[in-house]
C-alpha cells in the first residue's frame, strides 16, 4: 500500500481532489506529516473529523516504534526500531562533547541506518555478517532522527548516516530523507551537520558530487593498498582505489567540500609503515581529513585493534606530511552500539 509519508504535495492534492476536498488541504496534510511529524490523523486539528477518518481509511499512517532501548555509561542510547513489516533496525543517539569557541558543549548526534542489514559483508563489521534485509524508505530514515530527538527531549544537532547499511546502495531514499531532515519545512538541521558515510561506491560519490546541498561525505577507506582493501571490504573489489581517488578529487572540485577518510587501524592487517605510506599517497591531491578509528572487536571476527602506540605513530606520521588527522572516539561500546557493532535483529531474537 502507498505510504502517505512518501507522497509529494502534488500526489496528496490528487487524493484530496478524489475525496472532494480543496487542494490546499494537501499542503496542510504535508505540513502535519513533515513539519510537525505527526503520526496520528486525529492530531491534525485543522482537518475536519470526517476528512481525518477518510484519510485514515485510505492511507493508514504508522511511525517506527522503538521496541527496546539500551543505555551506555557514556550517555549513548541505542534503539531497536520495529518497522511496519516487522523488520528491525538499530539507531544510536549520542550526546557528544564539542569544543566550541573554548566552551565545552554537548550536542546530540543521531547515528542512523540506511538499510536493514547490509550486503557489503565487510570482514570487520557485525552488520555485514548478518546479511541484507531491505532498503529503508525515506520516512523510515527520518523516523530514526525523530526517535532520538523525542527520547532525549532535545534537538538533534548532527546526523550521521553511519548505522546499518550502505547508503549509496539506497541512494534515492537516503537523499530524500536527508532533504526532509534538512529543509526548514522538515526538521531544519543544517546540511553541514549531516554526513553520509559510504564504503566507497563510486557511482554514488559521483551523483553526490552534483547535489546542491552542503551535505558532508565520509568514505570508509580502511586500506590504501588494493589487496588489503579487497580482503577487508570484499564487495568493493570492483571499485578500484585509483578510480576512488579520482572520484574524490572530482568531488572536491565539484562540491568545493573536503571529504573525511575513515581508516580503522587493525593490528597486523593495515597498520604497517607501508600502509601509512600508501594512505599518504592516496591522499595526495585530495582535500581530505583522515579519521582514524580504533577497531571495535566483534564476536564474529578475530581482528584486533592496533595498539595505542601504533595509533599515535599514525597520527604523528600523517601530521608530518601535512594530512589533517584525528582519532575517533567511538561511543556506546558497552551496549554494542559502537561503529561496526550494529546487528540485524529480528523480533524472534528478543
DSSP letter at 86 equals S
* DSSP, res 341: -
The CB-nearest residue to ligand SAH is 340
Whole-angstrom distance between the N-terminal and C-terminal Cα of the chain?
Answer: 28
Coil, helix or strand at residue 135: strand
Find the shortest distance in angstroms from Cβ 115 to ligand SAH: 9
262 scored as a contact of ligand SAH (CB under 6 A) = yes
Of residues 7 and 159, the one with the C-beta less far from ligand SAH: 159
Q: Which residues are CB-contacts of 77 (< 8 A; sequence separation ≥ 6)? A: 69, 70, 71, 92, 93, 148, 151, 152, 332, 337
Q: If binding is defined by CB under 6 A, does position 198 make contact with ligand SAH?
A: yes
Contact stretch for ligand SAH (CB under 6 A) within 3-11, 40-48, 235-243, 290-298: 290-298
218 Cβ contact partners less than 8 Å away, ≥ 6 residues apart: 160, 162, 195, 196, 197, 198, 259, 260, 261, 262, 291
Residue 99, H or E segment = strand 88-100
Considering only residues 295, 318, 323, 325, which one is a binding residue for ligand SAH as defined by CB under 6 A?
295
The stretch among 207-215, 240-248, 278-286, 291-299 that binds ligand SAH (CB under 6 A) is 291-299
Nearer to ligand SAH, 167 or 186 (CB): 167
Residues 119-178 within binding reach of ligand SAH (CB under 6 A) = 124-125, 162, 166
Give the integer Cα–Cα distance in Å for 292 and 304: 15
What span, in angstroms and rounded, lies between the C-alpha atoms of 346 and 184? 35
Shortest Å distance, C-beta 162 to ligand SAH: 4
Residues 207-246 contacting ligand SAH, CB under 6 A:
220
Annotated catalytic residue within 21, 90, 130, 262: 90
Cβ proximity of 232 and 123 under 8 Å: yes
* 65 among known catalytic residues: no
Confirm whether 90 is a catalytic residue: yes
Task: Based on the shown chain and the rule CB under 6 A, indicate whether residue 296 belongs to the binding site for ligand SAH.
Answer: yes
Part in contact with ligand SAH (CB under 6 A); list of ranges 93-101, 146-154, 292-300, 312-320? 292-300
> Which of helix, strand or coil describes residue 202?
helix
- Choose among 279, 267, 167: nearest CA to 221: 279
Give the nearer residue to ligand SAH in terms of CB position, either 9 or 310: 310
Phi/psi of residue 331, nearest 5 degrees? -120, 155
Contacts to ligand SAH by CB under 6 A: 124-125, 162, 166, 197-199, 220, 262, 264, 293, 295-296, 298, 339-340
Amino acid at each position: 500500500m502507498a505510504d502517505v509519508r512518501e507522497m509529494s504535495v502534488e500526489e496528496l492534492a490528487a487524493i484530496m481532489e478524489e475525496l472532494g476536498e480543496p487542494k490546499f488541504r494537501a499542503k496542510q496534510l504535508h505540513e502535519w506529516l513533515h513539519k510537525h511529524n505527526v503520526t496520528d490523523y486525529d492530531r491534525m486539528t485543522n482537518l475536519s473529523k470526517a476528512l481525518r477518518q477518510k484519510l485514515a481509511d485510505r492511507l493508514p499512517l504508522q511511525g517506527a516504534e522503538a521496541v527496546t532501548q539500551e543505555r551506555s555509561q557514556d550517555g549513548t542510547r541505542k534503539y531497536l526500531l520495529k518497522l511496519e513489516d516487522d523488520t528491525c533496525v538499530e539507531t544510536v543517539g549520542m550526546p557528544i562533547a564539542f569544543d566550541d569557541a573554548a566552551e565545552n558543549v554537548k550536542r546530540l548526534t543521531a547515528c542512523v541506518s540506511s538499510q536493514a542489514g547490509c550486503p557489503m559483508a565487510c570482514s570487520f563489521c557485525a552488520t555485514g555478517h548478518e546479511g541484507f534485509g531491505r532498503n529503508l524508505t525515506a520516512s523510515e530514515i527520518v523516523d530514526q532522527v525523530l526517535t532520538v530527538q523525542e527520547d532525549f527531549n532535545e534537538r538533534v544537532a548532527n546526523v550521521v548516516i553511519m548505522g546499518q547499511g550502505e547508503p549509496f546502495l539506497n541512494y534515492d531514499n537516503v537523499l530524500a530523507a536527508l532533504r526532509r531532515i534538512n529543509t526548514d519545512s522538515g526538521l531544519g538541521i543544517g546540511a553541514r551537520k549531516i554526513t553520509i558515510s559510504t564504503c566507497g561506491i563510486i557511482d554514488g560519490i559521483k551523483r553526490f558530487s552534483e547535489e546542491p546541498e552542503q551535505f558532508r561525505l565520509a568514505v570508509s577507506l580502511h586500506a590504501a593498498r588494493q589487496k588489503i582493501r579487497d580482503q577487508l571490504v570484499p564487495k568493493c573489489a570492483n571499485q578500484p582505489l585509483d578510480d576512488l581517488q579520482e572520484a574524490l578529487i572530482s568531488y572536491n572540485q565539484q562540491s568545493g567540500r573536503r571529504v573525511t577518510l575513515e581508516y580503522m587501524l587493525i593490528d597486523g592487517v593495515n597498520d604497517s609503515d607501508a600502509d601509512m605510506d600508501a594512505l599518504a599517497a592516496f591522499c595526495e591531491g585530495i582535500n581530505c581529513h583522515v579519521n582514524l578509528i580504533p577497531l571495535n572487536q566483534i564476536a564474529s571476527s578475530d581482528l584486533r585493534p592496533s595498539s595505542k602506540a601504533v595509533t599515535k605513530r599514525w597520527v604523528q606520521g600523517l601530521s608530518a606530511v601535512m594530512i589533517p588527522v584525528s582519532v575517533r572516539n567511538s561511543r556506546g561500546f558497552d551496549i554494542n552500539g559502537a561503529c561496526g557493532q550494529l546487528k540485524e535483529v529480528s523480533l524472534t531474537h528478543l
